[in-house]
Amino acid sequence: MDILRVARVIASCRFLVALTGAGISADSGIPTFRGDDGLWKRFRPEELATPEAFTRNPTLVWEWYRWRMSIVFRAKPNDGHRALAELESMGILRCVITQNVDGLHQLAGSRCVVELHGSIRRVRCTSCSYREELVEPPTEIPPRCPRCGALLRPDVVWFGEPLPSDAWNKAVELCSKADAILVVGTSGVVMPAASLPYLVKSHGGIVIEVNVKPSALTSVADVFLQGRAAEVLPKIVEEVKRFVTK
C-alpha cells in the first residue's frame, strides 16, 4: 500500500521538507487558483495581480484583495495543515516551504514556514519601509501608509515580481539538504517554486506527491498519492507513528 510505503520513507528520513500549494488549503474553504473552479478561471491575473494592474487601478485590485482577505481571515487550518505541524513536532519534518499566502500553516502550529509568495495577512508601503500585520481586511480602500501617506499594497508576490531573496535562498538551502520532499497540493507550474522538487531529486532525494489529480510534477515523483491533503496526510502521520514507536 502506497501510504505504508510513504510512511516508512518518512519515518526513516534524515531531513524531510514539504512544499505546499493552494490544494492544502482548499478544505479550509480557500479557493485554489488553477483547479477546475480555480480563481484564474474567473479572473484575469493581469487585471488583479500585477504591479501594472495596481498602478492602473489600485481600488479595483484592493477590492479583490479585500474579498480574498475576508475569506482567509475566516478560514481555519484543516487536518492537512495540522498533520504537517505534527510531523514537525515529532522532529521529522524540518520545514514547510509554501506558495500559499494564507498563514494557515503557522496557525496550525508549524514553526518553520518559508513563505515564498509573501502573506495576505500583511501590507507594506509602496514608498517607505512600513509593514503591518493585519487582523482584519482594511476598511479604507485603497489603504494608505500611516507613516508617509503613500498607498499600501498586499505583502504578496505578484506576477512579474521576484520572490523575496531571503525566502528563496532559505528554500534552496533546505532542499539542498533534503533526502525527501513532500509535495502537497501544488499545480507545479509556477516557477521557481516548481523547481524545488527537481533540486531534491538531483542529489538522490525522494519526491512524494499528494494531490487530488496528477500535476506538472507527478512525472518526477517517486510516489504519487491521489486524494485531498486533509484526508491523506493524517493517514500518513498515523502510519509514521507506528514505524517510529516500533
Q: Which three cell numbers stand for residue 49?
A: 495581480
What is d(CA 110, CA 102) in angstroms, rounded to the nearest whole number?
13
CB 33 within 8 A of CB 39: yes
What is d(CA 98, CA 115) in angstroms, rounded to the nearest whole number?
5
What is d(CA 185, CA 178) in angstroms, rounded to the nearest whole number?
19
Q: Which three cell numbers stand for residue 128?
A: 517607505
What is d(CA 23, CA 62) in angstroms, rounded to the nearest whole number?
24
105 is catalytic: no
* Residues designated catalytic: 117
